[in-house]
Amino acid sequence: MKKYLGPLSKENPILVQVLGVCSALAVTAQLKPAVVMALSVTVVCALSNLIISLLRNTIPSRVRIMVQLLVVSSLVIAVDQFLQAYVFEISRMLSVFVGLIITNCIIMGRLEAFALSHPPVPSFIDGLMNGLGYGLVLVVVGTIRELLGSGTLWGCQVVPQAFYEAGYMNNGLMILPPMALIIVGVLIWILNAKQNKVK
Amino acid sequence: MSGLGELFVRSALIDNMVFAYFLGMCSYLAVSKNVKTALGLGIAVCFVLTVTVPVNYLIDKYLLQAGALSWMSVSLAGVDLSFLSLIIFIAVIAAMVQLLEMVIEKFSPALYQALGIFLPLIAVNCAILGGSLFMQERHFPTVAHSFSYAVGSGVGWLLAIVAFAAIRERLRYSDIPKGLQGNGIAYIITGLLGLAFMAFLGF
């Protein structure tokens, strides 16, 4: 069991392996789209790992990238249609980034590194855990940015009005895209510092 | 034919792929250890963007959009295939990259040597697919606009990765806190570069 928990901290795809940063950080200005994005990636990652692992003995290795891309993009289309049908607002907010899940390096990376050489059930769990590890970072960054940037969480006001009257101001910088990168940099710093202490 | 120049500058500097949308970050962080390889990858991305975005524009306009098939026959005017765009775009990109690789290998072995390793990687670079998806979302009026947008974005990406690689080369001689070495500082530098680029917005 322990080996599957790695992606949540020690082998976190974003913080340690630097995978899948591409489409992720732009959606973390608020918590809600970040959570939806995290769930979408987890679903796609787990299911594509499962499917590729089931097919792993029939795919010729020369065309495997193409097959992987087709499986992943079909899943992403399904997720995209689902989001448009049930949470249209958020799907508008995420705009092109749902589509960009296709080229998310975590998914391709796990397919290449794990699903092609392991049976279906472990592959499914591996995909799930990597998706969750990715989601965890997204949610942490989303929480920090929304709390400090707009004083809200999940769209509800958290910072009390009395604070504003006492002169507290939202940090507008947090809403800007570059802050996501700086927050992730600091998270990496914290993680590294913690691990060095454990050693 | 107005606004092509503005579109170019806008997509290269203000809506920079890396700093405003974080597209292509994986390869941006992985292949920026020195300026020379960064330049190679940057040129390859530029090249592939310039080819794939206009092609996808034409496909989107004449095959996929709602009512796009009306030029074939009136009865097809109600067809909306836009849900297929993701799968078609990625297929076009993968095919184009393959094709480009063959063409370059045939006509310019020197360029092939220089770009060789990067070209196959590009099919799964988010900047390329992102370019096509943004093109679709922004509804450019003509193919020339989509071309200008593609060149602009490519140049912006090239600029970003070369600047970042140059900073990283200098970074080797600086004294960074232990836990921050490697990826940590790379993210923070990208963030700071991004803040600098925000200046083009007029902040």
Q: Is B202 on the interface with A (CB under 8 A)?
A: no
- Read off the pLDDT band of B52 (50, 70, 90): very high
Nearest-neighbour CA in chain B from A35: distance (Å): 18
Higher per-residue confidence, B188 vs A156: B188
Mean pLDDT of B11-40: 82
Q: Chain B: nearest CA to A50, how far in angstroms?
A: 20
pLDDT value for A76: 92
CA distance, residue B97 to nearest chain A CA (Å)? 12
When scoring A70, A108, A188 by the number of chain B Cβ atoms within 10 A, the one with the most, hence best to mutate, is A188
**Alpha carbons A41 and A34: distance in angstroms, whole number:** 11
Q: What is the mean pLDDT of the segment spanning B47-52?
A: 90
Alpha carbon distance A16, A170 (integer Å): 31
Instruction: Determine contact: A120 vs chain B, CB below 8 A.
Output: no
**Residue B111, min C-alpha distance to chain A (Å):** 24
Q: Does B203 have pLDDT greater than 60?
A: no
Closest residue in A to B17 (Cα–Cα): A22
Q: H-type helices in chain A, by residue range? A: 2-5, 31-55, 64-86, 88-94, 96-99, 105-113, 120-150, 161-165, 177-198
Mutate one of B22, B29, B98, B149 to test the A interface: name it (highest A CB count within 10 A).
B22
Give the pLDDT of residue B152: 93
Measured in angstroms, the CA of B128 and the nearest CA of chain A are apart by 9
Which chain B residues touch A182 with a CB distance below 8 Å? 187-188, 191-192
Contact B25 A21 (CB under 8 A): yes
Over the stretch B63-115, which tens digit does the pLDDT of each residue have?
A: 888 777 777 777 777 777 878 888 888 888 888 888 888 888 888 787 777 76
Average confidence (pLDDT) over B160-188: 86
Query: Distance between CA B23 and CA B11 in Å, rounded?
Result: 13
Asked if B194's CB is within 8 angstroms of A96's CB, the reply is no
Spans of chain A, pLDDT less than 70 = 1-9, 22-24, 198-199
What is d(CA A100, CA B40) in angstroms, rounded to the nearest whole number?
A: 24
Q: Is pLDDT at B26 greater than 90 in this prediction?
A: no
Query: Could A103 and B30 be called an inter-chain contact, meaning their C-beta atoms sit closer than 8 Å?
Result: no
In this complex, do B22 and A178 lie within 8 Å of one another by their Cβ atoms? no
pLDDT at A23: 64
Q: Which of residues 87-116 of A touch B (CB under 8 A)?
A: 95-96, 99-100, 102-105, 108
What angle do helix axes B126-138 and B35-59 make, rounded to 10 degrees? Answer: 40
Contact A186 B188 (CB under 8 A): yes
pLDDT of residue A39: 92
User: Which residues in chain A (161-190) have CB-CB distances under 8 A to chain B?
Assistant: 176-182, 184-186, 188-190
Q: Are A77 and B84 inside 8 Å of each other by CB? A: yes
More confident residue, A1 or B183: B183
- Which stretch of DSSP H or E encloses residue A156? strand A156-157
Look up the ipTM and state it.
0.80
At residue B2, the pLDDT reads 66
Report the range of poorest mean pLDDT among A150-154, B48-52, B146-150.
A150-154
pLDDT tens for residues A8-54? 667 777 777 777 776 667 788 888 888 999 999 999 999 999 999 99
**Tokens 């912006």, located at residue:** B156
Task: Give the residue with greater pLDDT, A5 vs B16.
Answer: B16
Kindly identify which residue of chain A lies nearest to residue B188, measuring between CA atoms: A182
Closest to B17 measured CA to CA, from B138, B198, B132, B153: B153
Residue B104 one-letter amino acid? I
In this predicted structure, what is the pLDDT of residue A26? 77
* Interface check A158 vs B, CB under 8 A: no
